[in-house]
Amino acid sequence: MQDPNLIRNFCIIAHIDHGKSTIADRLIEFTGALSLREMSAQVLDNMDIEKERGITIKAQTAAMQYKAKDGKVYLLNLIDTPGHVDFSYEVARSLQACEGALLVVDAAQGVEAQTVANVYLAVEANLEIIPVLNKIDLPSADIDGTMLQIEEELGIDTTNVVKASAKAGIGIEEILEAIVKHIPPPKDAQAEPLRALIFDSWFDAYLGAVSLVRVMTGEVKKGMRMKMMSTGNDFEVLKVAKLTPKLVEVSTLSCGMVGVVSGSIKTVRDTKVGDTITSATRPAPTALAGFQDAKQMVFGGIFPVESSEYTNLKDSLEKLLMNDASLTMEPESSQALGFGYRVGFLGLLHMDIIQERL
């Protein structure tokens, strides 16, 4: 069993293009979680569209073993969150699964809009924030100016700021040491009934609906019955694993750990982001706070070019619905365009991405 005092759960928050995914790559490389042969640039962005646009859409995690300078081996769980405003509900849930955050700021561009928005979310979730100045090797980097900005605009103390350049590999070990030193371990609640927070879910052709969870209290064991607290449905746990970003099967996830749980669940609608998983035989009295259904902000009509393609469109949309619980769709018909669907999205970027994935 993993000692909770040697676990650190953290995420990286940053404005778009400030080098978040590159820092994640360097940390994974430094701790040897993936061999060099398996490394690819932006290793956590595993959808092609994420790499192409250079953005992170779904939350991903990586479990890394790190031997610190004090001689102990720590389990570091990096939870990679989306940085774009359309996905802010996913960000808020991912932050709930952490105890600390690395705030990455580009030394050449300074603090930007999305940095501020994400810092507010992190402060609301009571996270310990470690500022990291990235790209310090650029000729246009203004280190002192950016540090002043962090103090004045965000009100964050920069005495333990880490100066780094992910591209050149500067300051990576210092970041790891700062995580071990400043981020608090999860609280030990192994004896209490199970409560696990779902902060992402997706559909797998072999496993069904898979949930990415952070165990807050108790433990998840393979073979037990789990129950979703928002719907009351219960399922058998068939697979428990941790991501190092690749799946590694384990028999239990103990308190404080982050990993993947799947059962015989047919649709992602049953594993909503923000929901609490508990044990069906010994349920927890209350769910974890903060669960809400996703709100759609942008609606668009999607129609096939030829009416014979209607069933294809329907199948494709249903597949996307299996993977993305924040989409809604209802049939719609118009005299000019024929039959199609009216689809609800979180925002314009979300709509763009769905169009491309269709």
Q: Residue 59 — pLDDT band, cuts 50, 70, 90? A: very low
Contact 310, 339 (CB under 8 A): yes
Which residues lie below 8 Å from residue 85, measured CB to CB, with a gap of 6+? 114, 117, 347, 349
Is the model's pTM score more than 0.85?
no
The predicted model gives 173-189 an average pLDDT of 83
Task: Delineate the domains of the chain, giving CATH numbers in brackets.
Answer: 4-182 (3.40.50.300), 195-279 (2.40.30.10), 298-357 (3.30.70.870)
Contact 121, 90 (CB under 8 A): no
Smallest CA-to-CA distance from 116 within 141, 88, 93 is with 88
The tens digit of pLDDT for each residue in 197-210 reads: 887 777 777 777 88
Contact 69, 176 (CB under 8 A): no
Q: What percent of the chain has a predicted confidence (pLDDT) above 90? A: 0
Cα distance between residue 197 and residue 38, in whole Å: 29
β-strands 128-134, 162-163 pairing: parallel
Least confident of 48-57, 83-92, 97-106, 347-356: 48-57
The predicted model gives 101-108 an average pLDDT of 82
Predicted local distance difference test score (pLDDT) of residue 212: 85
Predicted local distance difference test score (pLDDT) of residue 54: 46
Of 134 and 213, more confident: 213
Alpha carbon 230 to chain centroid, angstroms: 21
Give residue 210's identity as a one-letter amino acid code: V
Q: Alpha helices, DSSP H only, in the chain?
A: 20-31, 48-53, 88-96, 113-124, 143-154, 172-182, 310-323, 348-357
The tens digit of pLDDT for each residue in 301-331 reads: 888 888 788 888 888 887 777 667 677 788 8
Smallest CA-to-CA distance from 229 within 286, 306, 294, 166 is with 286
The tens digit of pLDDT for each residue in 132-163 reads: 887 877 777 777 777 777 777 777 776 777 77
Predicted local distance difference test score (pLDDT) of residue 51: 47
The predicted model gives 12-40 an average pLDDT of 69
Tell me how far apart the 2 most distant CA atoms of the chain are, in Å: 72
The tens digit of pLDDT for each residue in 240-293 reads: 888 776 777 888 888 888 888 888 777 777 777 778 888 888 777 777 776 666
Cα angle, residue 52 at apex, residues 133 and 109 outer, rounded to 5°: 25
The predicted model gives 170-185 an average pLDDT of 84
Q: Is pLDDT above 60 for 38? A: no
Cα distance between residue 250 and residue 247, in whole Å: 10
Helices (H) and strands (E) in the chain, counts: 8, 18
The predicted model gives 351-356 an average pLDDT of 78
Residue at token pair 């009416």: 307
